[in-house]
Amino acid sequence: MSLNIEKEVEIIFDFDYEMLAKEVVSFAMEYENFPYEAEVNLTLTDNSGIHIINKMYRDIDAPTDVLSFPMLSYTQAGDFSALEEEYEDNFNPDTGEIMLGDIIISIDRVREQAKEYGHSERREYAFLIVHSMLHLFGYDHMTEEEAAVMEEKQHQILDAMHISRD
């Protein structure tokens, strides 16, 4: 598994954010039984940076906490059975890894939401990565049913990793 981290802002946390990101991405892949080695890109920015991206790609003129840009489409969320046939061009020829997609996180929002929800920045950061990984696996929260499935998976993954709302 390759995790490419791009930092657009200075990152100061009281935890190893690069190591945690790798652990969360890897664990989410294992939890979902993702059958391939994968490549994920993670960009860490601020509210201004994510605001620009949100406006450009989603036509929403406001910052958000996290954006996910999956490289793959699924007939059903979490069903990876047809990926090799349908996405042979999405395998990096140098590494053999399938390119899952991009995650963009606002570090400002990590701090704001951790304070707002009364848990650690570590937990909020991990939560946003789990949330995005599920999007990269085809999950969404556009309907109440989809949201319920996604929320349950988020909780299960974070609980299994012993990342709680401390």
- 95 CA to centre of own chain: 21
Q: How far apart are CA 54 and CA 120, in angstroms?
A: 25
**pLDDT tens digits for range 128-152:** 999 999 999 999 999 999 999 999 9
**pLDDT tens digits for range 35-87:** 999 999 999 999 999 999 999 999 999 999 999 999 998 889 999 988 777 76
Report yes or no on whether pTM surpasses 0.85.
yes
Q: Give residue 89's pLDDT.
A: 81
Which residues have a Cβ under 8 Å from the Cβ of 8 and sit 6 or more positions away?
A: 43, 44, 45, 46, 49
